[in-house]
Amino acid sequence: MSRKNTLTFGAIALASTALIACSTQPHDPAFQTAKTLPKYDQTSFSDYVADTKQWLETNRVFMTQDKESELLDVLPREYEPQQPNGQGVLLVHGLGDTPYSFINVAEHLAKKGYLVRTVLLSGHASKVGDLQLPSLEDWQGIVDHHARLLKTNVDSIWVGGYSTGANLVTDLAIQDESINGVLLFSPAFQPNSSSVKYAGLASYFVTWADQDPEDNPLRYNSLPMSAAAVYYETSVEVRDQLEDTQYEKPVFMLMSEGDSVIDTQFAIDIFTQQFNNPNSRLIWQGEKALAEPRSTTLSMRLPEQRISNGSHMGLLFAPNNPNYGVQGQSRICSNGQTEEQEAACMNGDDVWFSAWGHREDNKNHARLTYNPYFTESMALLDQVMGSESTKK
């Protein structure tokens, strides 16, 4: 999602209400658009990766001199297990992100015997201007095609997604009974603010919901209004699919109480009322224990780690991740603090870590970008995926 990681709902509400004049397209190359989107319907995953790499070499705005490393980080990727268990997992990133989002989860699953693939949603990993181009059908097509492609290489598959990606894979899993189950990280079934419903209308008048300097090679900081609208379409689609649905397959769901992006209570209610497999598990990073008996609560008041609460994106990465871990080089200082605090954070001052917008007296908060319970979370994920009901 955007640098502020809130889908800039306030900006969307303002733009859609005021219907101000069309915004002008900036001259910065990062905000320009490509002529076409890359193909995704290749007959082999290796061809898909190769073609995507070639397209990105032409259309990406690179941020470092090491172009090859940048591409390797953001490309779709296959993780081959040394001891295959016959199952595959397709993982789908969120809005504004890249396949790098799942690097630690994918590596864990491959060690457990799964053939894992991550895909790239159209408009991502090149330049944020390209995020104006895709439609809902583009993203649905990518997920559907690569789920079918993965099935040709394994006996059965799981699907997993983060945020917007969680919407896309849940939608598919409800329709495809052959899928073993679903892995959900910060599922964006319903946004935390109702303002985003107006993004489609606002996109006719305003190009950008949020614009920031693009300085992170792994994800976008800015957000086109049209992309916010497509995200909202994914949420409408999945809510329509979930309505009156009892999903019988196992579900792993991981969320943070401090998440400022999604309506966590809506997702909890869906889990409790409609994800009824006894082996499903809801992992809740927060302080308020849930009544759901299949839930596990993990406190995020961790002063010894300078963590105040959990965040929307702080679920996927292990503490030793070189970019987003404890010593990660990609600290996100734009976190809803004051300009002075943001500047101090960027200068390397000591900070605490939290969800976007969390404030406490005498504390400067950068974004929490890693999961302090990553090992515990993966152990619970293994339990869900290894449950007797999923074995063939």
Q: Using the 8-state DSSP alphabet, how is residue 196 labeled?
A: G
User: Cα torsion at 312, 318, 322, 323 (round to 10°)?
Assistant: -10
In a domain, 386, yes or no: no
Rounded distance between C-alpha atoms, residue 316 and residue 369, angstroms: 8
What percent of the chain shows pLDDT beyond 90? 88
pLDDT in tens, 188-230: 999 998 899 999 999 999 999 999 999 999 999 999 999 999 9
Confidence of residue 49 (pLDDT cuts 50, 70, 90): very high
In a domain, 312, yes or no: no
Read off the pLDDT of residues 288-323 as tens digits, 9 standing for 90 and up: 989 999 999 999 999 999 999 999 999 999 999 999
Query: Can you give the CATH number for the domain in which 28 is found?
Result: 3.40.50.1820
What's the pLDDT tens digit per position in 333-373? 989 999 999 999 999 999 999 999 999 999 999 999 999 99
For residue 349, tell me if it sits in a domain.
no
pLDDT range class, residue 6, cuts 50, 70, 90: very low
331 domain-assigned: no
CB atoms under 10 Å from CB of 257, counted, come to: 18
Strand partners, 131: none
Residue 153: CA count within 13 A, CB half-sphere: 22
Give the C-alpha separation, 365 to 370, whole Å.
14
pLDDT (0 to 100) of residue 18: 40
The total number of structural domains that make up the chain: 1
Phi, psi of 253, deg, nearest 5: -130, 130
pLDDT (mean) for 253-274:
96
Burial 188-212 (b: 16+ CB within 10 A, else e): bbbbbbebbbbbbbbbeebbbbbbb
As a whole number of angstroms, the distance between CA 176 and CA 337 comes to 44
pLDDT at 7 over 90: no
Residue 335 domain-assigned? no
Say which residue, 17 or 34, is predicted with more confidence.
34
Given a cut of 60, whether residue 5 has pLDDT beyond it is no
Residue of 24 and 30 predicted with greater confidence: 30
For residue 15, pLDDT beyond 60: no
Q: For residue 194, what pLDDT is reported?
A: 86
CA Rg, the chain, in Å? 20
Could you read off the pLDDT of 143-179 as tens digits, one per residue? 999 999 999 999 999 999 999 999 999 999 999 999 9
Q: Which band of pLDDT confidence, cut at 50, 70 and 90, is reported for residue 11?
A: very low
| Nearest Cα residue to 7 out of 75, 77, 96 | 96
Enter the tokens of residue 31: 């905000």
Q: Is residue 369 domain-resident?
A: no
What's the pTM value of the predicted model, to 2 decimals? 0.93
Beta strands in the chain (DSSP E): 77-79, 87-92, 115-119, 156-162, 182-185, 208-210, 223-224, 251-256, 281-285, 295-298, 352-354, 365-367
Per-residue pLDDT band for 43 (boundaries 50, 70, 90) equals very high
Domain presence at residue 106? yes
143 and 168 Cβ atoms separated by less than 8 Å? yes
| Domain that includes residue 18, residue range | 9-301
Nearest to 252, CA basis, from 271, 230, 233, 239: 271
Does the pLDDT at position 247 exceed 80? yes
What are the backbone dihedrals phi and psi of residue 5, each rounded to the nearest 5 degrees, phi first? 60, 30
Query: Does residue 371 fall inside a structural domain?
Result: no
Q: If pLDDT is split at 50, 70 and 90, which confidence band does 20 have?
A: very low
Q: CA 370 from chain center: how many Å? A: 13
Between CA 376 and CA 372 the distance in angstroms is: 9
